[in-house]
Amino acid sequence: MSPVAQHHEIRSGADVLDVSPVIPVVVVESAEQAVPLAQALLRGGIPVIEITLRSEAGLAAIEAVANEVEGMVVGAGTVLTPEQVGQVRDAGAQFIVTPGSPPRLLEAAVGSGLPLLAGAGTLTEMLTLAEAGLTAMKFFPAEASGGRAYLSSVAGPCPHLRFCPTGGVTPENARDYLALPNVGCVGGSWLTPKDAVAQGDWARIESLAAQAASLRSA
């Protein structure tokens, strides 16, 4: 485990953007998969993971990684309700990711005290988050919402906002996103293919993580 991976202080969403060029967006079907999966990512040089609540095992997986994988920054993704905000905080999540930012959810997430990457797909949503004091956010769904061209245009009127584009980001286009001045990192599911997770092919995930860790903005 590298010493660098052990000392990421995550106090805000902006800090989350600076941990790694890629945040793996992960769905696990059993909590038992979570720890070896996170360890494989860490060995590959990716010290951050977003475990989504898209499966029944999500909360238990967050708790397992938070407790057992030293040096891994673990976040909770696909947080949709105020109730889930409390659940992921109790499970040990170090940051929260939401696909959108309706008022009650945003209030609960901000009120939790956890760093937040709230989802925004339009300028109005981005400015609404900025009004709430958030300058780092998730751009989602990235490709469907206009992709790199949209984010490049946003940088003009809103140079103070920074993003983690997620949704349709691939190894082929990730570097183009990372080259934008307002992109801190990207989110992607390609680091943890469903079949590799199901088969426990941690070596493959480590290799994909190493390739992702080498992605840097131009």
Reported as a single tens digit per residue, the pLDDT across 76-115 is 999 999 999 999 999 999 999 999 999 999 999 999 999 9
Rounded to two decimals, the pTM is: 0.95
Q: Which two tokens stand for residue 32?
A: 């038992």
Which residue in 50, 63, 125, 206 is the catalytic one? 50
Q: Find out whether 23 and 186 touch, Cβ atoms under 8 Å.
A: yes
* pLDDT tens readout for residues 47-74: 999 999 999 999 999 999 999 999 999 9
Q: What is the set of domains in the chain, with CATH numbers?
A: 3-213 (3.20.20.70)
Judge residue 111's burial from the number of C-beta atoms within 10 Å of its C-beta, 0-12 exposed, 13-18 middle, 19 or more buried: exposed
Nearest to 77 by CA among 48, 102, 113: 48
Q: Catalytic annotation on 138?
A: yes
Which residue in 63, 125, 138, 143 is the catalytic one? 138
